[in-house]
Amino acid sequence: MIPGFPATARMTWRKSSRSGDNAGNCVEVSALNDHIAVRDSKNPALGLLYCSRADWRGLTTALRAAS
């Protein structure tokens, strides 16, 4: 856990409505002040990836443009 970030038990996780039934092949995200946390939905105990909201916007914008 990164100091200053809440424990995962207190985080509200969500996944895309477009993820459908992909046998668990999706990620979940949680907003944390000015950061976004990302985790594997089928194995959340593996850990979290944190990024800034600006970086998250850049990633999701690039992914939408590529699809």
Per-residue pLDDT of the chain (67 residues; tens, 9 = 90+): 455 565 666 789 998 777 766 666 788 999 988 899 998 888 888 888 899 999 999 999 998 999 7
pLDDT of residue 3: 54
pLDDT of residue 8: 64
For residues 3 and 19, give the distance between their C-alpha atoms in angstroms, rounded to a whole number: 31
Q: Taking the CA of residue 23 as centre, how many other CA atoms within 13 Å lie in the half-sphere pointing to its CB?
A: 0
pLDDT of residue 34: 87
pLDDT of residue 23: 63
Q: Phi and psi (nearest 5°) for 26?
A: -155, 170
Residues near 38 by Cβ (< 8 Å), separated by ≥ 6? Answer: 27, 28, 29, 48, 49, 50, 51
